[in-house]
Structure 1
Amino acid sequence: MLRDLLADSATRGGDRTFFRHGGRTYSYAEAQDRALDLAQRLHGRGIQPGERLAIDLPNGPDLVFALLAGPMLGISFFLLNTRLTAPKKAELLDGFEVSATVDEEFLATLRSEAPVGFEPPDPASDDVFVRMFTSGTTGLPKAARLTYGALEAAARASAEVLMTPESGCWQLTLPMFHVGGLQVMIRSLVNGSPFILYDRFDAAAVLADVASGEATHVSVVDRTLRELIACDRDMLARYEAVLLGGGPVNERTLEDAAAANVWASYGMTETCGAVAVSAPGRYAEGLRPLPGCEVRIVGPAEDGCGEIAVSGPSVFSGYEPRRGEPASPARSDGAWFLTGDEGRIVDGGLFVSERTCDVFISGGENVYPAEIEREILAVGGVESAAVIGVEDPDWGRRPVAFAAGAGADRAAIVEHLERRLTSFQRPDAVFV
Structure 2
Amino acid sequence: MYLHGTSTINDQGHLQIGGVDTVQLAERFGTPLYIVDEQLVRQRAQQFVRAFSETDLKFQVAYASKAFSVVAMCVLAEQENLSLDVVSDGELYTALQAGFPVERIHFHGNNKTVSELDMALQANIGCFVVDNFLELDLLHERAQLQGKVANILLRISPGVEVHTHEYISTGQEDSKFGFDLGNGTAATAVATALQYDNLQLLGVHSHIGSQIFEVEGFKLAVEKVATFAVNMREQHQITFPVINMGGGFGIRYTAEDSPLAIEKYVTAIAGAVKEKFSEADYPMPEVWIEPGRSMVGDAGTTLYTVGSTKTIPGIRKYVAVDGGMTDNPRPALYQAKYEAILANRANDAVEEVVSIAGKCCESGDMLIWDLSLPEVKQGDLLAVFSTGAYNYAMASNYNRIRRPAVVFVKDGEADLVVARESLEQIVVNDLVPARFQKTTLAK
Q: TM-score, normalised by structure 1?
A: 0.29
Q: TM-score, normalised by structure 2?
A: 0.28
- Higher-Rg member (1/2): 2
Higher relative contact order (CA 8 A, sep 6+): 2
